[in-house]
Structure 1
Amino acid sequence: MYSTRSQQQQKRNDSFILGPVSPTESQTQETQYKYLPLMTKVIQDQLDPKWQECKIKGKNLTPRSNSAIAIHQNHLYLYGGYQNAQGIMKDFYKLNLGAEQFFWQNIQCEYEPGPRCRHSLCAFKDCLYLFGGQVADSISTNEIFVHDVNLKFWKKLSINDSYPQPLDNYCATVYNDQLIIFGGFYTADIFKHSNDLYSFSFNLNQWIKLNKSKGRQPSPRDGSSIAIHNESLYMFGGKNGDLRYNDLWQFDFLKQEWNFIPINNICDIPMSRSGHSLIGYENQLILFGGIHDVTWELDDLYKFQINQQEWKMINKDTSRRKDLEVPSPTKSNRISLNKRRSIKLPSSLRPLSLRKTPCSSPKKVRSSSQSQHSCFYNNQNGQQSYDYKNNNSSINTTINYVQERKLLEKLRKKAAMLKLFEVEINKRALFQDDCNVTEKLKTSIILIGNPKQDLKLAKGTLTEFGQQIVSKFLLPLSNRQNTIHGKKPCARDGHAVAIFDNQMVLFGGDRHTMSFNDLYLLNLKQI
């Protein structure tokens, strides 16, 4: 298994060869030092004292996005959600946040609301209220179900004339004894975005439209988020088709009117986004995540100081930090990039489809709006049409060119693999790539798999600089032994949040159509 390279090269590769003889202490120490820089970088990128990840005992939930959660006493309740493989879900769970260990407990009832995603779940007294959401492909509802926490049964409330039209992907919160919802997407026969603001009385089973006046108000949108502070409601972001917003609005419950909030410091205004979360805590609003553009989910954290009317960035977005390391494109690259941008196809013609498309997640594109990059024009009737004649040839040419390049690349890889297996074992090392990427892959395999006991770094290993290094798989647990301190969530949108004591609870979401089932706690006192 040893190659015929020089002694220096042989010494470097000894750490990857599995042999029957255990290595000496010097070899073990050398192996540890070799991977310490990489581990140090990983730890520095991931550790954040404000965050902690909850460790789930037993079977975890199916990964999902666009679910809904609510806090009642010490329990976290979750209903429904969506995943590409599973579709729209209808399961119902609870988790005790005050327990020494976290277990998801399935709640089964004889009668249940059925599949739901992009809905809301809120707690009032000893009941959970579930409203609206999507029940099937392009089909939403305006039903309200009530779950008695003590008796463990669901009840459907009767729908009256005050109810809004079937709605999904709206934002919701609780204000006193009312459920407040804003925006969303109307289905049924309407198929349009909404900027309506409704309140639902838990005691009277009655809806009231709050923004009756035709004054200045937010534009129609879905995927936004709202939060309550004192006697005001705050709304940020959202989207209308491909157009996303980063505006902040206030609704005064006493005056019953919207007010646009001008920002004093425009340098720290968050990027436009949808599918994010916004909560109110003391005299500030906390904003996390969302999606800024196709395949560009965010993991940044902001707070809006209400008294100063200013945004402040707590953690910048790191989802595309690799793009920042790429040097500026050459002139030829810029020309080809412009060509690619000019031939983007129009957005899907099917509203709110859950079909998997090759370009992006269909849940993030509404059909009734057109793409900003599409070639539309106004016809004689004043309607917009797409010029297919002028773009078909260039589109087909580009597609054929891309396919040819992919095929050529596959043939090259296949030839290289065949050439590798044709030579003798002791000469294969001559054909192996020894670039930095290969070394990083080998390092990652060893760090994750730990095939040899001697390659496992001892907890608290000291480097030659005297700094203590701990593997990310050996991060310290909290006193209750059920969370990992410093572990922060990756970029995502479509996650669900709630407030528990002085912490924000975050569950699930997705990134590039890959759903999550992780659970995080954010210490709001440290922001």
Structure 2
Amino acid sequence: MMLPNRSPRFFHEDLKLPKLPKLQLSMRIGPTTRLSPPRNLSQNFEMSTKTILSPSFKPQDLIPSPSLGFLDLLAQKYSKHPKNECSDQPNKTPKTKPIIFSWTIKRTYGNTPASRVGGTLTVIGNDIYLFGGQSGDRLNELKCLKYDSLHWDTITTPKDLEVPEPRDGHITLPYKNYLVVYGGAGAFNTILHARTCSPLLHILDTQSLHWKTHKPIGRLPDPRRNHSAAIIGCTVIIYGGIGNDNNTLADFHGVNLDTMQWFTPKFSKDTVKPGPRHSFSMCSVYHQAMFKVNNCEIFNLPVIYDEDFTRKNCGIYIFGGMNGERRVLNDMFLLQTVKKNSKSDKNMLKIIRVEGSGKFPIARHGHSMGLCGKYVVIVGGRNDELYAGCRQSHVDEIGAFNITTSHWETVDLVGLLPISCWGVACATIGSKLLCFGGMNLSSFATNELWSLETNQDSIEGFELKKKDNPIRILIRRNTKYNL
């Protein structure tokens, strides 16, 4: 029996489509690829019946070419479709260009100091002073580096009772031609079975090279170590640390160096207190011309602003540290003076939480921070949560907060990179951050002086110089760890 002629029909069951290749887990997907795939490839890869039955359709069109990747095949196949949203995805994805910082070694001469952890670098004019720290034993030696000649000298002072005891975890600040030293862990107390801290101020006259011990009037703060401080005019603001009873402190104190008087700052009602913490960093951000004005204090600051330094972004920045529950932090706060609208606002401060854009740096403690141009730069630090995955606790990521845009920048590092460590002594000269010492779980850092250049104009063209056969040139993106 003859069957009637019928037009051939295709069914979905008769058509054998090739299986889609599985995406490799190591495949990088994002703005750097030539095509960003859909969020769910299996849901977006759909074909209508009209497309299958169209005369131009060929099943082999879907077979991946061995020379093309799967994403390239999709781009080639569907780039002509005007309704395809994925074809324009690379143009719609915002791309943030990373900034470049350059590491170099400053070749120094003279009586080079030994490497250490917990020391301080302080800049007065063209001189850089290194004081204290720990290198096997705690130190109280004072070294001076002439920055123009990069020559180290040992500062010898008369042997009297006013020379500070060996210590680490202290702070050293510049005031006119003086070095101001406060706090830190000193000699071991056999009764308390702990290293005690001194509540006294030690001030060195860098011209006469004489130490003076001062006990300012007013209520003395609790002695502490691993605290931080910042100086504005003649006012020193001290915050946090660890007391002699090993408790983490959360109090703020100020001392006026002109009147030698302690005071307790008053804060506005909308202040957000950072809470107890130690081993954090503080950095004063003001126009450079303000630091040349004498006899000003935190409640009577000259109004010197420009397009980079404004009332909104100037103040004392506080970052990171470890709280009383031994939790490592990566939050940032800004301490500012309250604009005086009434008599009740006199001599009042406020603290706000900085909610910047971009990716916040890795939480850390024992790091250092300095202002380089328009960037608040954070180097070093320790986070023991990294040890489980990386077998190390030091943080090699550099944080850079742009004060003009309130944005955490992505940093590319070029040059000969130092080892990553904590307890680094840092000082700022212009757009450079000078670093000395530090340690990690393996060893102490070398006694070389490292310089981190942050000026983008000075680093421009570094990519071309990589071919000049230097000692070692590396580029590393600081997105290695995600906590």
Q: TM-score w.r.t. structure 1 length?
A: 0.54
Change over 3 Å in CA distance of 1:280–1:210 after alignment to 2: farther
Any gaps of 5 or more consecutive residues in structure 2?
1-99, 189-194, 287-313, 340-348, 460-483
Q: Deviations over 1:205-252 (max 9, x none)?
A: 112222556753112000111112234111110002531001111112
Q: Which residue of 2 aligns with 1:54?
A: 106
- Structure 1 residue 131 displacement after superposition: 0.9
- Structure 1 residue 314 displacement after superposition: 0.8
Check if 1:495 corresponds to 2:421: no
Q: Which residue of 2 aligns with 1:299?
A: 396
The SS at the match of 1:242 is: coil
Letter in 2 for 1:314: V
Q: Which residue of 1 aligns with 2:145?
A: 95
Kept in 1: contact 2:216–2:261 (CA 8 A): no
Q: Which residue of 1 aligns with 2:455?
A: 525
Distance 2:412 2:231 in 1: 28
The SS at the match of 2:361 is: coil
- Structure 1 residue 311 displacement after superposition: 0.8
Matches within 5 A, 1:259-408: 259-265=352-358, 268-293=359-384, 295-315=392-412
Distance 1:248 1:280 in 2: 14
Kept in 1: contact 2:104–2:452 (CA 8 A): yes
Q: Which residue of 1 aligns with 2:278?
A: 222
> Cα RMSD (Å) of the superposition?
2.3
Q: Which residue of 1 aligns with 2:239?
A: 182
Q: Deviations over 1:111-141 (max 9, x none)?
A: 3112111111111111111111110343111
- Structure 1 residue 514 displacement after superposition: 2.5
Distance 2:151 2:215 in 1: 36
Distance 1:246 1:263 in 2: 12
Which of the two has greater helix per residue?
1
Letter in 1 for 2:175: F
Q: Which residue of 2 aligns with 1:107?
A: 156
Distance 2:234 2:210 in 1: 22
Kept in 1: contact 2:186–2:196 (CA 8 A): yes
Letter in 1 for 2:423: G
Change over 3 Å in CA distance of 1:135–1:513 after alignment to 2: farther
The answer to which structure, 1 or 2, has the higher relative contact order (CA under 8 A, 6+ apart) is: 1
Corresponding residue to 2:332 among 227, 232, 248: 248
Matches within 5 A, 1:40-51: 50-51=102-103
Check if 1:116 corresponds to 2:167: yes
Q: Which residue of 2 aligns with 1:258?
A: 351
- Structure 1 residue 145 displacement after superposition: 0.8
Q: TM-score w.r.t. structure 2 length?
A: 0.59
Change over 3 Å in CA distance of 1:238–1:211 after alignment to 2: farther
Kept in 2: contact 1:119–1:169 (CA 8 A): yes
Letter in 1 for 2:103: W
Kept in 2: contact 1:245–1:272 (CA 8 A): yes
- Structure 1 residue 184 displacement after superposition: 0.8
Check if 1:237 corresponds to 2:320: yes
Letter in 1 for 2:357: N
Distance 1:180 1:514 in 2: 33
Check if 1:70 corresponds to 2:122: yes
Distance 2:364 2:101 in 1: 26
Check if 1:514 corresponds to 2:443: yes
Q: Deviations over 1:245-283 (max 9, x none)?
A: 011111122351111122333xx2111101111222343
The SS at the match of 2:112 is: coil
Question: Highest Rg: 1 or 2?
Answer: 2
Q: Deviations over 1:339-380 (max 9, x none)?
A: xxxxxxxxxxxxxxxxxxxxxxxxxxxxxxxxxxxxxxxxxx
Change over 3 Å in CA distance of 1:56–1:165 after alignment to 2: same
Distance 1:315 1:491 in 2: 15
Kept in 1: contact 2:117–2:424 (CA 8 A): yes
Distance 1:513 1:239 in 2: 22
Q: Deviations over 1:283-320 (max 9, x none)?
A: 3311111112164112222211223322112147xxxx
Distance 1:280 1:57 in 2: 27
Q: Deviations over 1:479-500 (max 9, x none)?
A: xxxxxx9333210111111112
Distance 2:101 2:400 in 1: 17
Letter in 1 for 2:140: K
Letter in 1 for 2:126: N
Distance 1:116 1:225 in 2: 18
Change over 3 Å in CA distance of 1:107–1:300 after alignment to 2: farther
Matches within 5 A, 1:5-16: none
Distance 1:513 1:181 in 2: 32
Q: Which residue of 1 aligns with 2:260?
A: 205
Kept in 1: contact 2:372–2:430 (CA 8 A): no
Kept in 2: contact 1:298–1:492 (CA 8 A): yes
Letter in 2 for 1:117: D
Distance 2:144 2:203 in 1: 16
Kept in 2: contact 1:163–1:206 (CA 8 A): no
Distance 1:186 1:486 in 2: 40
Q: Which residue of 1 aligns with 2:71?
A: none
Distance 2:404 2:353 in 1: 15
Bigger drift between 120-129 and 205-214 goes to 205-214
- Structure 1 residue 56 displacement after superposition: 2.9
Distance 1:520 1:114 in 2: 28
Kept in 1: contact 2:134–2:168 (CA 8 A): yes
- Structure 1 residue 502 displacement after superposition: 2.8
